[in-house]
Structure 1
Amino acid sequence: MGSQLHFNAFLFGCGHHGASWRHPESSVDRLGDITYYEELAQIAERGCLDAVFFADGHSVRNPASGSWWFLEPLTALSAMARATERVGLVSTVSTTFYTPFHAARMLASLDHISRGRVGWNVVTSMFDAEARNHGLEEMPPHDERYARAAEFVDVALALWDSWEPDALVLDRGGMFADPAKVNPIHHRGSHFLVDGPLTVPHSPQGRPVLFQAGASDQGRDLAARYAEGIYAVAYDLPAAQSYYDDVKKRVRQAGRNSDEVVVMPGLVTYVGSTTEEARRKKAELDALLPTSQSLAQLSMFVEQDCSDWELDAPVPPVPPLAQFTGPHGRYETILRIIEKDRPTVRALLGTLAAGGGHCTMIGTPESIADEIELWFRRGGADGFNLMPPLYPSGLADFVDEVIPVLQKRKLFRSRYETNTLRDHLRGPGE
């Protein structure tokens, strides 16, 4: 654990609440307007956040719900790089659908454009609908995807290293680059054949910062081998501590310094001048959820018919985990939410609609800062991947209300002291 927190802002449409786009204050009419994303990045930069982050998807699941990516992330980040100076820029790139050369070239280009602020979130993707947009009938098996991912990352790293830092000579008398310092990689593997070198010379960071969201065993091992930042899912502190301890142990077993790997659980926040005001903000969004759809989804999660559950009454009794026959991960999260929050049915639907199993903090700037500090000091997180329920107001609330409290407590930087994303994560002088 470092001495200070780290924060990324996870940018997603109008916000992370399933009904955010329906809210009167949403920017639903601006989702194709690059200035919207530039403004979000500028708010993040105002708060001295480490980075903004885009996930990605390669299929449209439900046009009516608005829950997919409007602009291609790397294209959007190129523009956002020009509208900002310090905040990091992280994009998901799928190892199942891209090739290493293509990904390495795009990310190195963006590292040049941003002067060293780029990160790559390594994912293997998961939906058959995505596979069928890339010439595959269905997603390859889990183990095969992770084997490809490991080789993909190795090749990308080799390509970024194919130009030595001082290879460019730029001597107008006759030498552009020193051929002895630009090396092919001659990779021949199970999944890829890549000669190299890369067509983009050594970038400001040398190689982009690698992020990974590893939940499965293979995902955690991939993160332990390569990641400098890990996105995690934890609804409460015990779940966070368990994941944190496990993944840091794996990092050490991989022969790396676990202090140099930043673990960032997702964090949904509702900030108000009072707890009642914060709860009102959540209730406003929850009231916009299409109820029948949400209850049908909940019925699927808990494997019982919830269609006649009374929305504003407490959640009826559900079986303990030991008696549940369906997938345990999501169900365990639902049990944690019920136990921790004692929600009404409507409030439970709203929590699941805003970040699912991610930690949710509802309260004043001080009470939220208290919870964040607790997670940080008790080994649950090195920082958080912020998931505001409603953009841009949810991010602005956090930046303008919560960040100053953390700055006052010396838990977060008051200004940028570093220029590259890697240095933001490692801290000045490291």
Structure 2
Amino acid sequence: MSTAPRQLNLNLFIYPNGHHEAAWRHPLAAHQRVLDVSFYQELAQQAEAAKFDAVFFADGLGIGDGVRYASRFHLEPITLINALAAATQKIGFIATASTTFYDPYTLARLLAFTDHLSHGRVGWNIVTSSLKRAAQNYGLAEHPSHAARYARAHEFVEAIGRLWDSWEDGAFINDPASGLFADTDRIHPAQFSGEHLSVAGALNVPRSPQGRPVYVQAGSSEAGRDFAAQYAEAIFTAHQTLESAQAFYRDVKERATQRGRNPAHVKILPGLSPFIGSTEAEAKALQREFDELIQPDFSLLQLKNQLGLDVDLRGHDLDAPFPLHLIPDNPDQAEHSRFQLVLDIVKREQPTLRQLLQKLAGARGHFVLAGTPEQIADHIQTWFEQGAADGINVMPPWLPGGFEVFTREVVPILRQRGLFREEYSGSTLRDHFGLPRPESQFAPALAQAQAA
């Protein structure tokens, strides 16, 4: 029995203006349209025309450091994806929402209804929120510890899953002739009670087309990897080397297998921010144009946040070697998803501080590659075929042109090599990712009771 060849998953990761921190200053970027919904609808339509799996939106629950110098706000994703779903037919949408500051019932309603309105095209990027000022914005005296946030996250996912399952398939009758609107034997209270959360249920929205949104996650710490292995169906990750990406890929797939999950249902999707030119020299020159617009005061704030340390490097010579001696050898810093990545860059490449800031400016630690369309396609194919990725989160350095050139020049090469679809084979995000539709956890219990 023959099986279809494995295919890439491609997502468009939209960041206001683009992923390079200085993109908003470059004349190629449509900075004046950053709050124009039609701009994002056009990008989603372009991604759909290229047969991308999904459009992804990050989120943050406070003003980012350095908003004086850069586009440091986030688009509210759930509101936005409803507007984009109305302008598209098949492409999926992934919204970030925090388990630390949402409550399960509110988020369950929002995403279930969005899944209905989009006809099954929604994913949820599960985050615990590392921004410390977010806690104060939500009335907490201090930011919960990393361990406390993950403990709540586990309970949150269990609780919201019970809410999404509380209406079994077939519970929504909606039959005027019989006068039966809902089969209440198939509607169940969530009845979740934990140390951090409790929810009575049932949800007041019928079961959505996908059963529940696709679970997406992006943590790289030990706790994050365990969480991903238990719940995530797609994982966003950042790596600077093939070897690092391969090690992460093996580790998470093995953890998922140990939990009795099918590793093929855990998609690993590293980020890639490509500068594309007709020659490599042209692509690198384009990247330099963006790097020359970097504002060091902002870049240093970004670096401080990525390291998770209270180390002020503003007085350090930008063209001197990075002062590694100022970074304490503290294993607890591994909790910060970019700490080890930054440290590895410093040890491997021994950059000056300016060189490090430029390397991180492109996509906050995700892989930045300047090259021809063929070189970009080669990179993606290598990571895909050598056990480092199931697909790629495409992170255009600027918008819209940085994405337009990728779909025009790189996607056709991937198709020619048999790596990416010509057409959608389904209509839901689960279809695009090749993921099963989960059965309500209450359905087996009801079937057993009826059989008894």
Length-normalised TM-score, structure 1: 0.91
Per-residue deviation at 1:37? 1.0
- Structure 1 unaligned segments of length 5 or more: list them: none
What residue identity is the alignment partner of 2:270?
A: P
Alignment of 1:72-151 (within 5 A): 72-151=76-155
State the partner residue of 2:382: 374
Distance 1:419 1:428, change over 3 A: farther
State the partner residue of 2:193: 188
2:209 paired residue among 201, 204, 210? 204
* 211-220 or 167-176, larger mean C-alpha shift: 167-176
1:291-348 deviation digits (Å, cap 9, x = unpaired): 35436766996977774344xxxx7476699x97465775654465568779786554
Contact 2:318 2:354 in 1 (8 A): no
Per-residue deviation at 1:31? 1.6
2:239 paired residue among 224, 230, 234? 234
Distance 1:319 1:70, change over 3 A: closer
> Which secondary structure does the structure 1 equivalent of 2:137 belong to?
coil
> Which secondary structure does the structure 2 equivalent of 1:132 belong to?
helix
State the partner residue of 1:163: 167
Find the aligned partners of 1:319 and 1:419 in 2 and give their Cα distance: 50
Find the aligned partners of 2:51 and 2:350 in 1 and give their Cα distance: 35
State the partner residue of 1:153: 157
- Structure 2 unaligned segments of length 5 or more: list them: 438-452
Per-residue deviation at 1:27? 2.0
State the partner residue of 1:30: 33
Per-residue deviation at 1:94? 0.3
Length-normalised TM-score, structure 2: 0.87
Per-residue deviation at 1:143? 1.2
Find the aligned partners of 1:156 and 1:297 in 2 and give their Cα distance: 33
Per-residue deviation at 1:290? 1.2
Distance 1:179 1:66, change over 3 A: same
Contact 1:8 1:50 in 2 (8 A): yes
1:6 paired residue among 6, 9, 17? 9
Find the aligned partners of 2:304 and 2:133 in 1 and give their Cα distance: 23
Contact 2:53 2:92 in 1 (8 A): yes
State the partner residue of 1:43: 46
Contact 2:159 2:198 in 1 (8 A): no
1:335-386 deviation digits (Å, cap 9, x = unpaired): 6556877978655432211123211221011111111111111111111111
Q: Does 1:260 align with 2:262?
A: no
Find the aligned partners of 1:320 and 1:290 in 2 and give their Cα distance: 24
State the partner residue of 1:360: 368
Alignment of 1:213-252 (within 5 A): 213-252=218-257
Contact 1:283 1:347 in 2 (8 A): no
Find the aligned partners of 1:299 and 1:221 in 2 and give their Cα distance: 26
1:143-195 deviation digits (Å, cap 9, x = unpaired): 11111111111111111111111112222142111111111122222122212
Per-residue deviation at 1:92? 0.5
Find the aligned partners of 1:219 and 1:148 in 2 and give their Cα distance: 13
Find the aligned partners of 1:296 and 1:127 in 2 and give their Cα distance: 13
1:423 paired residue among 431, 434, 439? 431
> Which secondary structure does the structure 2 equivalent of 1:418 belong to?
coil
Q: Cα RMSD between the aligned structures?
A: 2.7
Per-residue deviation at 1:65? 3.0
> Which secondary structure does the structure 1 equivalent of 2:11 belong to?
strand
* 411-420 or 298-307, larger mean C-alpha shift: 298-307
Contact 1:292 1:307 in 2 (8 A): no
Q: Does 1:308 align with 2:312?
A: no
Distance 1:208 1:299, change over 3 A: closer
Distance 1:121 1:2, change over 3 A: farther
Distance 1:187 1:58, change over 3 A: same
Distance 1:130 1:170, change over 3 A: same
State the partner residue of 1:177: 182
* 252-261 or 187-196, larger mean C-alpha shift: 187-196
* 203-212 or 1-10, larger mean C-alpha shift: 1-10
State the partner residue of 2:440: none
State the partner residue of 2:398: 390
* 108-117 or 213-222, larger mean C-alpha shift: 213-222
Per-residue deviation at 1:72? 1.4
Distance 1:331 1:152, change over 3 A: closer
State the partner residue of 2:443: none
Distance 1:412 1:146, change over 3 A: same
